[in-house]
Amino acid sequence: MSFAIAGALEPSTRLLSRTGSRRYTSTGIVLCLTSSIFAPVHSIRTGSHSRLPTCPLNKDNCPAPVAGLRAFHSSSHDWSSTPQFSYHVAASYSAKGHKFNAGANLFTGDVFDASKSNITDLKVCKSLKDRRTRAKSGQDSFFFSQVGNTRSTAFGVADGVGGWVDSGVDPSDFSHGLCEYMACAARAWPHGAKTTSLHPKDLLQVGYDEVMEDKNILGGGSTACLAVAEPDSNVEVANLGDSGFMHLGLNAVRHFTQPQTHAFNTPYQLSKTPKRMQVQMAVFGGTASLSDPPKGSNVSHHQVRHGDVLVFATDGVWDNLSPQDALGIVSRNMVDLGAWVERDGALEVSPELHKLVQADSDRKANSSSLQAKLSTAIAKEAKETSLNIQRDGPFAKEVQKHYPNERWRGGKPDDIAALVVVVVQGTAS
């Protein structure tokens, strides 16, 4: 999703736009409905005496200590009474040009596995993922994984930059490969870790490094928005480009990310230039393709509450739905499905939330779970709006405002991926 200021930046003719057919000259901004009201996550790192971390963001967040690591608190801590949070994930998606299929195009997160991962090689891990079984989400992709054998989780979305198609490159290989490598790296943690903590920016760097070394991924580019969520309610988000994240709670927007763009419809992006293009540029000259490093992503910290909803989505959603639209969809469904209930004129979280997300099941949540219904509702509305020539979405409104001669009306057809997380509070066992 992009908001534009005309004439703020003149892009290079080699900048890769979203569609490859439209180039504009304005930077992207987003009006955040409310700023985050929570304190940041503090990264706690151990000294050089130990290489094994206990938790991704903060080693004191996990009740199970690792031998050789000194506890952060000098006094004993009663973990049995510490509120613990779980994150229930589902994703709904639809490729551009395909009909929306709510039942077939749905993903729900795996249940917790306490066993230690046997992943020792990320390339081998990714090779086990059959291309034919990838989500039919076009150039969009997403991932979910527990972090090592901890209760922490990592999840996010990636959006292949469509402009690469003009260069004969399929950007879906890049975005899907990036997500597959990040999922493998999260599950393998702390194997191969160089630090005592796992942050989303670090995870993005690992995924990108693996993509760059993967000879089966010839080239391409992608935006990304991902998070590492801790059982103590701390969530750290890294966003590169114009995919984005919303933090919602009890009919309120608590945070909405700002997109990073070099120019209108030209987001920050990770990229890999095919060797043939590198040779051509070396011989004939020319401007290199746009590439931004993972360290350039914006990082934000959030403390979630019981009943909160997190939405991670590609620009196929945000170009067609405003923050108010997304809030309306989530709030309406949370109330209709009984997750948020009205009492004495105010909304509160239902005591049935655990059942609605199927938290007590030893199987993956199904299509009737709360998170599945929320993700489906968002993706379905974005899909319908993208094809509606009568309803102007955020993208159309910005084009009309700054480029009236374009005469853009209605939605913006695109690949769509919406990943939803429902936060549930329990007590550590």
Annotated domain spans of the chain? 3-36+80-427
Report how far residue 412's alpha carbon sits from residue 32's, in angstroms, rounded to the nearest whole number.
22
Q: How far apart are CA 117 and CA 62, in angstroms?
A: 17
User: What was the pLDDT predicted at 427?
Assistant: 52
- 341, β-bridge pairs: 348
Amino acid 275: pLDDT? 74
CATH code matching the domain that covers 3-36+80-427, chosen among 3.60.40.10, 2.60.120.560, 2.40.37.10, 2.40.480.10:
3.60.40.10
Place of tokens 């939405």: 311
What pLDDT sits at residue 41? 34
Tokens of residue 68, six digits: 């050789």
Tell me the H-state helices in 128-191.
Answer: 171-188
Q: Evaluate whether 25 touches 6 at the Cβ level (below 8 Å).
A: yes
Q: What is the pLDDT of residue 286?
A: 63
In whole angstroms, what is the distance from residue 410 CA to residue 22 CA?
16
pLDDT along the chain (429 residues), means of 10: 32 41 36 34 33 47 36 37 89 97 95 87 90 92 95 96 84 95 94 81 96 94 97 97 96 94 90 77 65 94 98 97 96 98 94 95 94 98 96 91 87 97 80
pLDDT attached to residue 54: 40
Q: Tell me the C-alpha to C-alpha distance, in Å, between residue 224 and each of 299, 370, 372, 425.
A: 12, 25, 22, 28
At 87 the pLDDT is 97
Taking the mean position of all CA atoms in its chain, how far away is CA 295? 16
pLDDT at site 6: 29
Q: What are the residues facing 160 on neighbouring strands?
A: 222
User: Where are the alpha helices (H) located in 48-135, listed in sequence order?
Assistant: 122-127
